[in-house]
Structure 1
Amino acid sequence: MADSMLNDKRTIVCVNTDCGSDNVAVVGSKGVTRIKVYGEPSHYCSVPFLAIYKGDHLHSRLPAHSHQIIYADPEPNNDR
């Protein structure tokens, strides 16, 4: 598990409103191709934001603190 959202490399598949009731962006729906976390500069630190892409076009930016983030299920380990 990553120590902060900015260091978390898991794949994001969905972003909801903070109450989790409304899908804001879902990969594979309405042209959304990927969702990435990045840091916006703020006073003395980087604040996590979400970049919503449609193809290679950066469609929107959202503050991560006010959204629920859903990650892809981990790949099964078939080495056992």
Structure 2
Amino acid sequence: MSDIDARFTQAQTDVKKLAERPGNLTLLRLYALYKQASTGDAHGDKPGFADLAGKYKYEAWAALQGTSQDDARRLYIELVESLKSGASA
């Protein structure tokens, strides 16, 4: 396992142990970065109007199209670290 993979796995554990629940926009960013890092570019059908949460998640993920999986991992790690230090909410 490479260093970036190990740090990404650790960040996934750390995000579950945050003292405060992040705001909705931060949660969307975490979701999108996680999906991009683990799956790559968004694929599949975009959820319809009736699934508002699914639609926002898909759009956040699709906005990262073209971002490499390693770059998404690094951004995810940085965001989790900033949340741990209290710099973001």
Higher relative contact order (CA 8 A, sep 6+): 2
TM over 0.5: no
Larger strand share, 1 or 2? 1
What TM-score do the two structures reach when normalised by structure 1? Answer: 0.30
Larger helix share, 1 or 2? 2
What TM-score do the two structures reach when normalised by structure 2? Answer: 0.28
